[in-house]
Structure 1
Amino acid sequence: MIVNDSLLYLSCPPRNKGRWAGLWGISYGGLLKLVTGSILTVYVVFCLDDMMVLMDKKYPPRFLYPKEWQHLTMFILLTLNGCVDVMSRNLLPQRCVLLEKGSLVLTFYVLLLLLISHVQDTTGIELQIHYLLILVVFLLMLVLTIELWTPDTFQLLLIEAFLFLMMGSWLMQAGFILYRPVTGYPWQDDDISDIMFVTTFFCWHVMINALCLLGIYGLSALWHRCHCPSLKLMGSKEAPYHKGTVGPLYKLLQEVEQSEKDEQALLLSKSSS
């Protein structure tokens, strides 16, 4: 972003630039989603003794393992989103950013529905953790939906990165709180101080992730200013197909400048005559 907005959506390099040139065009994010989602899907299927049975054989039949099936659905969504990213970046003739954004938005819509249903039978610490996670997912869903119409807005992209950081760090924190507490003692659902400290930890995550994002931005800006002053020109040449739209304010400024030039030329002609 510091260098050039066009660096956000680099096109795949031509295949005749060398044996290893094609590696730069691989969608590493899509591959990571695809591999991680596939591994987690297999793990959920095989972690149970009876291999994710949908319904029991009793009468009347009942659905089994509702949370595990929801986890499986989430991981399948992650895998499919990775497939869309890889297809858009490496298989289609021209990268379709709108397709990638739309797939990601749809994933978060479904994820939000699953998380709301996921907390139906939870209480105490687990409920508070999931409520805070739902808040982050909801905000991400709103930001990603708005980006479908304004994909190049710097502020939205910055908020998106921050919310993804929040989602990832809070999921790791939730795993330690629920399954492997640092103290070795489980958190108590009937202790109001434990529930309050869950929210306090979430606020600490907000501050730490904001500082992390600020530090990355500051170091990148310093590195670009000191060592890579010509990278902006290179970036604009690497992605000629992606051009930011000219805003109405910029057009208005151009019109004002042109009118001022016309007035000055008219005054000069009158004075000379």
Structure 2
Amino acid sequence: MGTEGPKLPLPPREKRGHNRWHWTTVEGVVKVALTFTGILGELFYPPGVNRTRLVDWEAPQRPFLFKESWQHITMYSFFMLSGVVDIVSQRHLARQNERLEQAAEALAFYMVVLLMATHIENRGSVEVRVHQLFMLPTFLVALVLSIEVWVPSQPTLWVLKTWMGLVLSSWLLQLCVVLYTPPSGQHWRGDSTEDMAFLTTFFCWHLGLMALLLAAVYGLCSLWLRHCSSGVGSLGPRYKMCPTESSNEELQRLQEEEEELQNGGV
């Protein structure tokens, strides 16, 4: 969700060929499919359950029903919207609008932070702490995506977004372990200062471990490109450096096309 590296912009629609789904990214389709599955699960799983009602009209107070399920459905819906925007931008617009895609994805992550803020109300200390720590990388991913709407193609932002995305994912798994399946068999105690302190300590470990993982992947890729790419370079077309003379007409034409692609109609 929002942690991928830079992607090449798609060519204009008239140059994409006639295959209907050829230029539609897998990412957008996967977003829609997984979130739709999640929504169905929240509404109808386990079999026989029906959580489609928002209000209990039979009760005198007319209380709302299934608060957590509807929070999850709302979260899934915004990520589904992000997937739909990806598909529309990359398939049905004359030119791909990358800024619109970034904005839709940022909105989905902001919604996660907002929903988490209400999700932890009236919860135990342990559950509040792990969700607060989860909100930190989620907000930073949303913030980076927002910045990229106006300042795209910044490698520093790519690294920060990827790092926070890894932390977000690993801490989500840690959250499930802490709340539901602690390895020791003993639940974490909210009234224990040691337990609460170690939650934050473990989160710091996640920050460090994910930074090491990112550095390791970067290092391995760099080594592969440096030592192995020469052996496979002959299998495909060789790329040449673009001439940089200001008088070169081809360079000017390419720069104009790049500006049009980046603007994307915004």
Q: TM-score, normalised by structure 1?
A: 0.76
- CA separation of 1:236 and 1:83: change in aligned 2, threshold 3 A: farther
The answer on 1:35 being equivalent to 2:33 is yes
Where do residues 192-231 of structure 1 align in structure 2 (5 Å cutoff)? 192-228=193-229
* Percent of aligned pairs sharing the same letter: 30
Partner residue, 2:264:
none
Cα distance in 1, alignment partners of residues 120 and 8 from structure 2 = 37
Aligned AA for 2:119? H
- Deviations along 1:133-182, one digit per CA (max 9) or x if unpaired, are 11112222222211111111110111011111111111111111112222
Aligned AA for 1:54? L
Cα distance in 2, alignment partners of residues 30 and 153 from structure 1 = 23
- CA separation of 1:98 and 1:204: change in aligned 2, threshold 3 A: same
Using the TM superposition, give the Cα deviation of residue 233 of structure 1 relative to its aligned residue in structure 2, in angstroms: 6.0
Where do residues 131-142 of structure 1 align in structure 2 (5 Å cutoff)? 131-142=132-143
SS at match of 1:186: coil
Cα distance in 2, alignment partners of residues 205 and 151 from structure 1 = 28
Partner residue, 1:15:
17
Using the TM superposition, give the Cα deviation of residue 32 of structure 1 relative to its aligned residue in structure 2, in angstroms: 2.0
Using the TM superposition, give the Cα deviation of residue 53 of structure 1 relative to its aligned residue in structure 2, in angstroms: 2.3
The answer on 1:110 being equivalent to 2:76 is no
Cα distance in 2, alignment partners of residues 244 and 96 from structure 1 = 10
Partner residue, 1:149:
150
Gaps of 5+ in 2: 243-253, 262-266
Partner residue, 1:271:
none
Partner residue, 1:83:
84
Flag the structure with higher helix content: 1
SS at match of 1:62: coil
Cα distance in 2, alignment partners of residues 211 and 85 from structure 1 = 31
Contact persistence 2:43–2:50 (CA under 8 A): no
Aligned AA for 2:100? L
SS at match of 1:122: coil
Using the TM superposition, give the Cα deviation of residue 232 of structure 1 relative to its aligned residue in structure 2, in angstroms: 10
- Deviations along 1:11-61, one digit per CA (max 9) or x if unpaired, are 268438xx8xx75x4412222211211111110011363424211121121
Please give the root-mean-square deviation of Cα atoms over the aligned residues, in Å. Answer: 2.9
Aligned length: 234
